[in-house]
Amino acid sequence: MTFKTFRDRLLQQEGLNFVLTNRLPRVALTRFMGRFSKIRQPLVRDASIALFKFFGDLDLSEAKKQSFDSLHDCFVRELKDGARPFNADPRVVCSPSDGIVGGHGRIEGDELLQIKGMPYSLTELLGSKELAAQHQGGSYVTLRLRASMYHRFHAPTDCTVKRVTHIQGDMWNVNPIALKRVPSLYCRNDRAVIEAELPSGQALTIVPVGAILVASVRLHFLDLNLHHDYRGEQVIDCDATLKRGQEMGWFEHGSTIVVLAPKGMELVEGLETGTEVRAGQALLRRV
């Protein structure tokens, strides 16, 4: 048995995986990772990236540059120009990021699914009954980012961001093993609720959810880092006009984005739970 095979089998043991990624001091470990990933000392940097490549199956072939100042610099890497073209069909809401399709469906009532058999409250996720009501009859899609994926996320269509609400919380892992075991996990974790308005006036909401080892979520249109220890304004009004495909920000590891679309939009045919998508790919289409 090769070491790689042994590693894969070890990581597939659900109980061990859950203990290793969730029973540790999650917040302290995340703070440490945030500092450690920014170390620029060449030996530390090179060893960290080498381990990241080995354990994360990291592929840097699309990266704009091949040498990095730190592990953090590698996490938030840019891609070569044209690597993520955005579908130009105005009836389409594109995937804001690379990811794996998770829970999705029609929004009827207050219950969404983080995984089959594990519901959570839309109102609790958003921290607002009024915003939850705006999405009734619409659709939602959950995108989970693996650690090795492209970490930047983009405007899924032309829109204007009107408000960002930072909700401080825990740092649970968001892998499928944890989603099966931790009720309302997305509602427990640190997250940013990004409220946008489409040209039609309808609401489009994007919720980046933090996780263990995710030190922060960077929002370019506010020039702001939102993280567990952020003590600034929690509800931030703004009027940021974004074009389809324009970069919105990045995660500093891998995590989850929940996309809440307005009434009249449905998941694109052919996409289902477990499908891997790329930023710019058609995600939801107006019926």
Query: Residue 275: which pLDDT band, with cuts at 50, 70 and 90?
Result: very high
Q: According to the model, what pLDDT value does residue 19 have?
A: 47
Which of 42, 75, 108 terminates a domain? The answer is 75
Query: Is 81 a catalytic site residue?
Result: no
Cα-flanking dihedrals φ and ψ of residue 26, to 5°?
Answer: -60, -45
The count of structural domains within the chain is 2
Query: Residue 16: which pLDDT band, with cuts at 50, 70 and 90?
Result: very low
Query: Is 151 a catalytic site residue?
Result: no
Domain that holds residue 31: 3-75
- For residues 106 and 137, the answer to whether their CB atoms sit within 8 Å is yes
Say yes or no: 38 and 178 in one domain: no
Q: According to the model, what pLDDT value does residue 126 have?
A: 97
In-domain check, residue 189: yes
SS (HEC) of the chain: CCHHHHHHHHHCCHHHHHHHHHCCCHHHHHHHHHHHCCCCCHHHHHHHHHHHHHHHCCCCCCECCCCCCCHHHHHCCCECCCCCCCCCCCCEEECCCCEEEEEEEECCCCEEEEECCEEEEHHHHHCCHHHHHHCCCCEEEEEECCCCCCCEEECCCCEEEEEEEEECCECCCCCHHHHHHCCCHHHHECEEEEEEECCCCCEEEEEEECCCCCCCEEEHHHCEEECCCCCCCCEEEEEEEECCCCEEEEECCCCEEEEEECCCEEECCCCCCCCEECCCCEEEEEC
Q: What angle do CA 148, 153, 157 make, to 5 degrees?
A: 145
In-domain check, residue 208: yes
Q: How far apart are CA 129 and CA 63, in angstroms?
A: 41
The per-residue pLDDT for range 157-210, each reduced to its tens digit, is: 999 999 999 998 887 777 887 888 888 999 998 899 999 999 999 999 999 998
Catalytic one of 37, 48, 97, 255: 255
Say yes or no: 99 and 203 in one domain: yes
In-domain check, residue 230: yes
The per-residue pLDDT for range 55-91, each reduced to its tens digit, is: 777 889 999 999 999 988 998 999 999 999 999 999 9
Cβ-proximal residues to 246 (8 Å cutoff; 6+ apart), any chain: 154, 155
Q: According to the model, what pLDDT value does residue 13 have?
A: 52
Q: How far apart are CA 247 and CA 143, in angstroms?
A: 17
Say yes or no: 136 and 172 in one domain: yes
Say yes or no: 240 and 99 in one domain: yes
Say yes or no: 66 and 115 in one domain: no
Written as one letter, the residue type at 100 is I
In-domain check, residue 85: no
Say yes or no: 131 and 252 in one domain: yes
Parallel, antiparallel, or unpaired: how do β-strands 152-154 and 247-251 relate? antiparallel
Least confident of 63-77, 140-154, 164-178, 255-269: 164-178
Say yes or no: 176 and 258 in one domain: yes
Say yes or no: 179 and 242 in one domain: yes
| CA proximity to 46, closest of 18, 31, 67 | 67
| CA proximity to 174, closest of 272, 274, 71, 102 | 102
Catalytic one of 154, 227, 228, 253: 154
> In this structure, how many other beta carbons lie within 10 angstroms of the beta carbon of residue 208?
27
Which of 75, 102, 129 terminates a domain? The answer is 75
Residue for token pair 């989970």: 144
Which of 43, 75, 107 terminates a domain? The answer is 75
Residue scoring higher pLDDT (82 or 253): 82
Query: Is 216 a catalytic site residue?
Result: no
